[in-house]
Amino acid sequence: MYPHERSLVQKYNEHFAIVGVNSDRGRDRLKEAKAREKITWSSFYDGGGTGGPIASRWGVSGWPTLFLLDTKGTIRHKGLRGEKLENAIRELLLEMDVELPPDPQKKES
């Protein structure tokens, strides 16, 4: 999962951001995971499990849970992965009139 997220940040970095919420058992494990997985985006510690304040407020019942928000902070998608996630990001950026890099799913002729 992290390699795909890194690629999205690199590809859409001017118009797209990831904010992580982590529920590892302790802040040290969060720091270790960020270093090991080369996580460059902000990641907040929410306590162990899904009982932390962020997870509770957002109704997270398991990890990982992904939410895709628009520029107004409205949740537009939940639980997308891989190609579906990237397509949804591209759709939102098009709504913002952002010039997109070439679509990786379309072959050039």
The domain spanning residue 27 has which CATH number? 3.40.30.10
User: Average pLDDT in the 38-56 region?
Assistant: 88
User: Average pLDDT in the 77-97 region?
Assistant: 93
Q: Give the number of domains in the chain.
A: 1
* Residue-level pLDDT at 67: 92
Domain limits for position 68: 2-95
- Burial degree of 46 (CB within 10 A; 0-12, 13-18, 19+): buried
Dihedral of alpha carbons 27, 80, 99, 97, sign: negative
User: Average pLDDT in the 77-85 region?
Assistant: 92
Given a cut of 70, is residue 108 above it in pLDDT? no
Given a cut of 90, is residue 91 above it in pLDDT? yes
Closest residue by Cα to residue 65 from 85, 79, 77: 79
Q: Is residue 39 part of a domain?
A: yes
User: Average pLDDT in the 7-20 region?
Assistant: 89
Kindly report the average pLDDT of the chain as a whole number.
Answer: 88
Adjacent-strand bridge partners of 20 = 43
